[in-house]
Structure formats: structure tokens, C-alpha cells
Amino acid sequence: MSHRILVLYGSYRKDRVGIRLANFLVEGLSRRGHDVELIDAKAIGLPMLDKMYKEYSPGEAPEALQALADKIVGADGFVFVTGEYNWGVQPGLKNLTDHFLEEWFWRPAAIASYSAGRLSGARAGLAWHGTLSEMGMVVISSTLAVGPIAATLDEASTPTGKAGEALEKSFERFAADLEWWADAAKTKKRSTPPPY
């Protein structure tokens, strides 16, 4: 079953290396037959959260916010690509997600973390797990943790060396897990509307 999947990425840095992982995931999920789109927080450029999407009257939300809300509501699943900043999450990605709430409900989320070092952004991945659960998503048990990212993916987002081989192998389970939960959520919604 093909799914509409959003890959969300939140670094605002000038020389972003994590975009390699985001692009790798878009390409890999597309090869598996899914309709995949990269949602780049920097490119969308939402302001720091002042007013959530749901706090606007219908038809009054800023254009970028409305367009993103429509994409989120229309998605079957999400992949959050996160770097680790001082043991925490990237502020750009967190700010983007906080503009919405109910729009995220009843779909699976997957977490792919990265860092320049060997811990691979694992602490940021752990922080996102609780946040995404609170936002109404089912967080899949498979994760990807990539580090050092520059030694795993080259500038064209192609896996390199032993770390790249390990990423490719891990990706297959990661993708299959996300697909299973997206299938389950889509099937359940057809038979039984969400309770709220």
C-alpha cells in the first residue's frame, strides 16, 4: 500500500549536514513506492510560535501555515529528522511542530537522529519520542541514529563506508515498521472514526 509521507527537518544552520539524512530518507521511501515530501522548517520560515493554526478563524491563517496544515492533515505518516543541540531538540523543528496539534493525530511518526559525533543524536531522539506521543502520534519502535553523519552520508546523500552500509541495512526495518503502522492507521480509520 502506498502512503503519503512527510519527512520533517529543522536545522536553520548555514552549513547543514543533517539535510543529507533527510534527503536519503526521501529518496529511500520514494523508492519503496510512497509519495514523499521534504518539509524543511527553514524554507517554510514560520515565525516563532505566537498563534497556533487552530487559533485562526477558518480562512484567516497565513498562507504558509494553511498550506502546511493541509499537508499534515493529508499525510499517512511522518518522519522527524533531528539533530541534537545541547542534549535537546532543534528549535526550528520544534517551533514548526508546535504550530499544530490535532492535525498530527492518529498517524505514526518515526524518528531519525544524527550528530557529528558517535552518539548520533540519540538524546534528541529520546526527547522527541515523548513530544510526538503527546502530540497524538504513535511513535514506531524502530529508529535511525546516524553519526558521525559526515562519515555516513556524502554531500549527495549517498551512504559511504561501513557506517553507510549499516544505515542502509537499518533503513529497511525502519521503513517497514513505518509502513506497517501507516497501513494499520489507514485501515482502522476506514472502519472506525477516531474517538476525538
Asked if residue 174 has pLDDT above 90, the reply is: yes
Confidence check: pLDDT of 26 > 90? yes
Residue 80 within any structural domain of the chain: yes
Q: Say if 194 falls within a structural domain.
A: no
83 falls within a domain: yes
- pLDDT tens-digit series, residues 47-60: 999 999 999 999 99
Q: For the chain, what is the largest distance between any 2 Cα atoms, rounded to a whole number of angstroms?
A: 52
Q: Are 80 and 127 in contact (CB under 8 A)?
A: no
Specify the pLDDT at position 87. Answer: 87
Mean pLDDT of 30-50: 97
Domain membership flag for residue 34? yes
Q: Compute the distance between CA of residue 84 and CA of residue 91 in angstroms, rounded to an integer.
A: 10
Q: Give the type of residue at 89.
A: V
pLDDT of residue 85: 87
Q: What angle do CA 68, 34, 114 make, to 5 degrees?
A: 70
Report in angstroms the alpha-carbon separations of 166 from 51, 96, 125, 171, 174.
Answer: 42, 30, 18, 8, 12
Does the pLDDT at position 154 exceed 90?
yes
Asked if the structure places residue 196 within a domain, the reply is: no
- Rounded to whole angstroms, the Cα distance separating 184 from 113 reads 25
Asked if residue 85 belongs to a domain, the reply is yes
Number of domain units in the chain:
1
Kindly tell me the burial class for residue 113, based on how many C-beta atoms sit within 10 Å of its own C-beta (0-12, 13-18, 19 or more): buried
The mean per-residue pLDDT over the stretch 78-92 comes to: 93
Measure CA 3 to chain center.
14
Domain containing residue 163? 4-186
Rg (CA), the chain: 16
CATH of the domain at 117: 3.40.50.360
Q: What confidence category does residue 196 fall into, taking pLDDT thresholds of 50, 70 and 90?
A: confident
Percent of the chain with pLDDT strictly greater than 70? 100
Alpha-carbon distance 89 to 109, whole Å?
Answer: 16
Distance CA 44, CA 22 (A): 15
